Amino acid sequence: MRRRPGRSKEAPELDITAFLNLMVVLVPFLLVSAVFSRITILELNLQGGAPSEADDKPQMNIEVIIRQGSIELRGNQKVIAKMNKIDNKNYVEGLVQEPTKPINEKQIYDLPALSKHLLKIKASYPDKLDALILLEPDIEYRNLVGVMDAVRGAEIKKAAEDGGEPQTERKVLFPDISIGDAP
């Protein structure tokens, strides 16, 4: 900064009282109206119409079946993979469940394995966008949402070129999801 000659070296004091008052009022006001958990929506493709059968490309019907103890992945009516539930690393014995906290389960669905299989299918059918999720009647809603997340897209970890933190990239898999009853 340039200083005019002949001025005293001491910086002139700013009167920031008014600004400070404004801040003191503004901060509590905004704190009250702030949202820390944002609601988003998952769009379903319920009656997406009949798929165009006249396609020349090889068709592949992807079905993910959520059962009580496992997830089954089917393509063209054939079972590709069956993933049993895996042990939850974050399970705490005898923890009292609080309503808003993540649910403390002993076993969880193996979503990373499902992602891996789906990525393989996506690699062979890059134009495929729709998938069908079939559920047993007593599956909880959150499991449906978890599987939907895995089917809609997967995260691929990429090592950074400069050897730093590995970067995650989101890859879209099958975003048009239909829902049905498990056979």
Partner 1 sequence: MRHDSRRMKRMARNHKKTPGMNLTSLMDVFTILVFFLLTNSASDEALQNPKVITLPASVVETKPKETVVILVTPENILIQGKVVADTPDVVNRQANIIEEIKNELELQRSRTLVTDEEELPEVNILADRRAQFSLLKKIMSSCTSAGYAKISLAVIQKSSQGQ
Name which of residues 95 to 124 contact partner 1 (CB under 8 A): 99-100, 103, 111-112
Q: Report how far residue 120's alpha carbon sits from residue 126's, in angstroms, rounded to the nearest whole number.
A: 10
Residues in the interface with partner 1 (CB under 8 A) total 49
By rule CB under 8 A, what string of x and - marks binding of each residue 147-166 to partner 1?
-xx--xx-x-----------
Q: Report how far residue 114's alpha carbon sits from residue 38's, in angstroms, rounded to the nearest whole number.
A: 27
Residue 21, H or E segment: helix 17-33
55 binds partner 1 (CB under 8 A): no
Residue 79 β-bridge partners: 74
What is the Cα Rg of the chain in Å? 26
Q: Decide whether 67 or 82 has the Cβ nearer to partner 1.
A: 67
Cβ at position 142, least distance to partner 1 in Å: 4
51 binds partner 1 (CB under 8 A): no
Rounded to 10°, the helix 141-152/111-124 angle is 40
Which amino acid appears at position 124 of this protein? S
Give the residues lining the site for partner 1 (CB under 8 A): 13, 16, 19-20, 23-24, 26-27, 30-31, 33-44, 46-47, 99-100, 103, 111-112, 135-142, 144-146, 148-149, 152-153, 155, 168, 170, 179, 181
